[in-house]
Amino acid sequence: PAYTKATLKLYGLFVFFSALVRPLPTLLVLPFNFHPVGALALFGGGRVRSWAVYVAPLAVMAVTDCFLWAIKGDMYSPLYVSQIAVYTSFVLYVLIGRWMATNNNPLRLATASLLGSFQFYVITNAFSWVILPELYTRDLAGFLQSMAAGLPFYRPGDPIARRAPGPGRRRA
């Protein structure tokens, strides 16, 4: 569907809100799994026809990562190795939003939300398996262990829910 000025204004407010809210769980102001960037990317992909929807979630992540890096330390650096997986996942959220936008079917919206949460979970946990050989063996058992380690933080269907850090885990 074509977007309107009202949609662009709403998206701009969503970008601003996401940038303000994203650091709050890390600062223990909101529940740890509250993370609006996935929803931002999904909505943008579904409702805004511009290349900027690919940049906006990454910009929110980079800006808030710099802020968190300054106050919380190196694990929040935008240069932290796991950011490759996290940022890639947000680009995929936009693509899922594009797929969702082909019609306004509520089932498609629910499916897009579930798919977004699932791809984030799989990509980030598989990346942990790859970059953390001290925690996970390079076999099916190690892969399944990395997937199991992320389960306490996985909330399917909630595009604003993300995982919290744990042993050897990277927050999103």
Residue-wise pLDDT tens digits, 82-140: 889 999 999 999 999 998 887 778 888 888 988 998 999 999 999 999 999 999 999 99
pLDDT band per the 50, 70, 90 thresholds, residue 3: low
Calpha distance 15→88 (Å, rounded):
18
152, pLDDT greater than 50: yes
What's the half-sphere exposure (Cβ side, CA atoms, 13 Å) at 24?
A: 14
| Type of residue found at 81 | V
In this prediction, residue 171 carries a pLDDT of 43
- Please name every residue paired with 161 in a beta bridge, in sequence order, or none if there are none: 34
Query: By three-state DSSP, how is residue 34 classified?
Result: strand
Distances (CA, A) of 94 to 99, 131, 143: 9, 25, 26
In this prediction, residue 153 carries a pLDDT of 67
In this prediction, residue 4 carries a pLDDT of 76
pTM, to two decimals: 0.78
The closest alpha carbon to 101, from 59, 49, 54, belongs to 49
In this prediction, residue 33 carries a pLDDT of 59
Per-residue pLDDT, averaged over 73-90, amounts to 86
